[in-house]
A and B are shown apart, each in its own frame.
Chain A
Amino acid sequence: MEKIALSAESRALIDLEVAKFPGEQKQSAVMSALRIVQTEKGWLAPETIEAVAEYLGMPAIAAYEVATFYNMYDLKPVGRHKITVCTNLPCQLQGADKIAEHLKAKLGVDFGETTEDGRYTLKEGECMGTCGSGPLCLHNNHKMHAHLTPEAVDKLLDELK
């Protein structure tokens, strides 16, 4: 496996996170560090995780444990736009299953798959903590779209190039 280096930008951002913890406990910043590096690289390849672990002075397997525990980390390449639909009960009751079906039909992919043009990845998500706004989805882990309808979904997909 080739070793990779983290970019200077990522390192600077990680350093900010590391500074929030006692000097002896750099590895406390691992979740932030993985998020920062994922934002840069698009996904977390094993060598990326290893580079993060090395930077924080922790065993690679320990960083890998974190990366596999949380579903917002992508361990496989994803499309330019990752759409995560919450399918937990409150959202379901508000029609999330229909939104999910609509997305699947429209994009021609199932949960966990990426469209052939590499534009969209569809993911199944867990509760995002704003059940009153359901059904909802998350775009690239950062932007939430609430009160979805099939029309709103179509509009959103068109906007995402």
Chain B
Amino acid sequence: MPVITIDDRQIEVAPGDTVMDAAHRAGIYIPHFCYHKKLSIAASCRMCLVEVEKVPKPLPACATPATDGMVVRTHSDKAVTAQKGVMEFLLINHPLDCPICDQGGECMLQDIAVGYGGIASRYAEPKRVVKEKDLGPLVATDMTRCIHCSRCVRFGQEIAGIMELGMPGRGEHTEVMPFLESQVTSELSGNVIDLCPVGALTSKPFRYSARPWELSRRKSVSPHDGLGSNLAVHVKDGKVFRFLPLENEAVNECWLADRDRYSYQALNSEERVTRPMVRQGSDWVEVDWQKALAQAAGALKVIHDTHGGEAIGFLASPHQTLEELYLTRQLAGALGCENIDTRLDVADFSADGKLAGIPWLGMPVADLDKLDRVLLVGSSVRKEQPLIAQRLRQAVKRGARLNVVHAADDDLLCRVANKLIAKPSAWVNALAQIANALRESGKDVGAVASDVSGVAVSDAARRVAESLVSGERKAVFLGGLASQHPNAAQLHSLAQAIAQATGAALGFLVSAANQVGAALAGCRPGANGRNAQRMLAEPRKAYVLLGVEPTLDHEPAAQAESALESAELVVLLTAFKVKAMDYAHVVLPIAPFTETAGAFVNMEGRLQAFNGVVPPQGEARPAWKVLRVLGNQLQLSDFDYDSAESVRKAALPEGEDGIAARLDNGICALPVTHLQAGDGVERLGETPIYQLDPLVRRAPALQATQVAADAAVCWANGALIQRLGLSVDRPVRVVQDSGESVLKLGRDDRLPEDVVRVAACHRLTTRLGERFGALRLEKM
């Protein structure tokens, strides 16, 4: 190992390390702006100039390779003079507007100017002024403050995979800007705010609301996708002001998706329910907790005593904590009810009882970027788990070959080796083709061999098979759409066969933050119980809803609506005013994740516990406490928990170490029957990125994005639009089953001619049917 000396300290370095890397390793700070450990080296700011012995000029530490015997000084006269000079140059055009700058207090330029700059500037001439750019509702700009470090530009190119910002112009006329007047649309765009070392790019929703030194930073875990990004929640006066990423190399690295960053807005929204309420006729009356709980418990007991436990249905959200889900499960169990589920988005439950364990990622998240071969089945991964898409992008950059089975040829912002783009009903056939190609090449595809042997193999499928046979580290991933597919179990079974035949890992890209936790907590129907689908298809007398919005979480929404409408009792545990209040009888206001202790288990089986970071708003209470008292009121035994930890201990008796043993993606091979695709045009009904859960649905900045607006559009291929005589940007009538919606029509030639993209779980499409059913477009 080469050894270099920095400031009289001997440091061992790895070959290829730069002086900056070596300094970091030894804990020596070298001031810098453009350098960032996750981005390529630009060496454009010159702030990290250091003196290197035997070199006449100071060198940038970030771009100088560390070589054996090198002697570096970061505080010598030469280094200090160079740093002071650079600082003076950087400040020449930087406005002195710190008092009104949102970055003030967390500004690298401010800090380094104090630490390494001179007292005064010799520059007395006018400063440059740069026109503002409108980057959309998430990122605010003050481009006059830009010091041209190019971090935001490199982030777009290297991490987000889409170069939305660039640096046109030359010399002092260089400006960071998007092409023309376009806004940034990347689902990771908020990260440029953290990267910007000055106040040029700041958070638009957070703007002018607090100073960094007034805010306390508290740890938490994001409740949205199955990754469970670690959060630093910034709070002041018992109120959440913003979410920033908390670095965790194994989970979110130092990034945060926009969904995780801006969903905090919902926490303080007007739509929170903060008082217990009971229905009197058509009115809601605010009551105290005792009365509300007594009423809920009493009514549940009546239903239980007259109709039995199976007359009740428990529907919980997989975005709730492990403790809340476990107590819901306990409550259901104590009432003799086996109808409990969190999978409102699932259509095919035929795998239940045939699984070897709890579906999970099948590997650590951190290993995703080391994969060589990937088959992605039914996953809009950029929308489902933006940071998983980022990891796969890094893998592709390292040479991985990404294969895709999907209904839309979406741009994953990285090279896709092979793709099978077909309407959803043809996905089983697509996987069968790959399996058959493997079988024909002599691989053992197990029990599905006879089912797939008659399937004609396309060239694309053969190439996918060939791609998966080569390479070392491989994985087959089933995405959210594959799990929501009407033949999800057969897709699972085929994916397993493909994975086994190629030696690939099989994994689920889990959509919800605590989906794995929900399964661990036992929030699954018992042997005689009804799953989410059946609970709504066969209406129950009573429903207990924990954090769900059935008409948005379940497709078809009409089915959920009629089941709830006809119920004698609906007990609603919710943090927000939801549509279900139209038919609920008791509303118990619960605390969102920032106001309660709890834990999520992410897609890799990582248990991430957190504490409440602010007190519950109004009369809202942590749901685990509400459920505990509900249990007490019903005089159920084992409901005497005094903390979230004690609930967690009961939910996971073997603790964190017991989780891994319960995770297994194995499935008893099922007969593959749906080899024939359906006729006609089909719907591709994804849950839009900003409609995933009650929190993001109520974050105004996210809802104002172009991405959110695009989710309200019915997308179709230009050829289909022409064939049907429709016109783009005009309203079109979308008819499915017995329902219809009127949506704006958009053209997307990345869709096949027989696929129409109409978002599910969206307030504009609740009248439609299943996510993937046949569908008709009619001229208005």
Contact = CB atoms under 8 A, between A and B. Distances in A.
A60 B178 CA distance: 9
Nearest to A49: B179
Interface in A2-58: 46, 50
Contacts of B170: 68-69
A27 to B, nearest CB: 11
B179 A59 contact: yes
A156 interface: no
A137 B177 CA distance: 33
Interface stretch (B122-130, B157-165, B715-723): B157-165
B180 interface: yes
Contact of B180 (A1, A59, A67): A1
B169 interface: yes
A59 B169 contact: no
Give the interface size bracket for B toward A: 10 to 19
A30 to B, nearest CB: 13
Interface string A102-127: 00000000000000000000000000
Contacts of B167: 65
Contacts of B177: 61
B168 A59 contact: no
Most buried by A among B162, B163, B168, B169: B168
A61 B169 contact: no
Contacts of A61: 163-166, 168, 177-179
Contacts of A67: 168
A62 B180 contact: no
A79 to B, nearest CB: 24
A61 B162 CA distance: 10
A64 B168 contact: yes
Given A46-B180, A50-B179, A68 B163 contact: no
A62 B166 contact: yes
B169 A62 contact: no
B168 A65 contact: yes
Nearest to A71: B170
A65 B180 contact: no
Interface string A132-148: 00000000000000000
Interface in B149-191: 162-170, 177-180
A124 to B, nearest CB: 14
Interface in B607-633: none
Interface string A82-96: 000000000000000
Contacts of A69: 168-170
A50 to B, nearest CB: 7
A60 B179 contact: yes
B728 to A, nearest CB: 14
Interface in B255-283: none
A65 B164 CA distance: 12
Contacts of B165: 61
Nearest to A70: B170
A68 B178 CA distance: 13
A61 B169 CA distance: 11
Contacts of A46: 179-180
B29 to A, nearest CB: 32
Contacts of A64: 166, 168, 179
Nearest to B167: A65
A137 B283 CA distance: 84
A34 B163 CA distance: 19
A1 B179 CA distance: 12
Nearest to A47: B180
Contact of A68 (B162, B168, B180): B168
B645 to A, nearest CB: 50
Contacts of A1: 180
A50 B178 CA distance: 13
Nearest to A1: B180
Nearest to B170: A69
Contacts of A65: 166-168
A7 B166 CA distance: 27
A60 B162 CA distance: 11
A1 B162 CA distance: 20
B179 A68 contact: no
B58 to A, nearest CB: 27
A60 B181 CA distance: 12
Contacts of B180: 1, 46
A69 B166 CA distance: 12
Contacts of B162: 59
B706 to A, nearest CB: 16
Contacts of B168: 61, 64-65, 67-69
A61 B177 CA distance: 8
A60 B164 CA distance: 9
B248 to A, nearest CB: 30
A59 B168 CA distance: 13
A68 B170 CA distance: 7
A92 B177 CA distance: 35
Most buried by A among B162, B169, B178, B180: B180
Contacts of A59: 162-164, 166, 179
B161 to A, nearest CB: 11
A137 B180 CA distance: 32
A67 B179 CA distance: 12
Contacts of B179: 46, 50, 59-61, 64
B405 to A, nearest CB: 24
Contacts of A68: 168-170
Nearest to A61: B166
Most buried by A among B163, B164, B166, B167: B166
Interface string B497-535: 000000000000000000000000000000000000000
A61 B164 CA distance: 7
A62 B170 CA distance: 13
Interface in B214-235: none
A59 B178 CA distance: 10
A62 B150 CA distance: 13
A1 B181 CA distance: 11
A67 B168 CA distance: 8
B627 to A, nearest CB: 51
Contacts of A62: 163, 166
A59 B166 CA distance: 9
A38 to B, nearest CB: 16
Nearest to B180: A46
A22 B170 CA distance: 28
Closest 7 pairs between A and B when the two form their complex, measured CB to CB: A61-B166, A68-B168, A59-B163, A61-B179, A60-B179, A65-B166, A65-B168
25 contacts: A1-B180, A46-B180, A59-B163, A59-B164, A59-B166, A59-B179, A61-B163, A61-B165, A61-B166, A61-B168, A61-B177, A61-B178, A61-B179, A62-B166, A64-B168, A64-B179, A65-B166, A65-B167, A65-B168, A68-B168, A68-B169, A68-B170, A69-B168, A69-B169, A69-B170
Interface of B: 162-170, 177-180
Given A61-B168, A67-B168, 13 more contacts: A46-B179, A46-B180, A59-B179, A60-B179, A61-B163, A61-B165, A61-B177, A61-B178, A62-B166, A65-B166, A65-B168, A68-B170, A69-B170
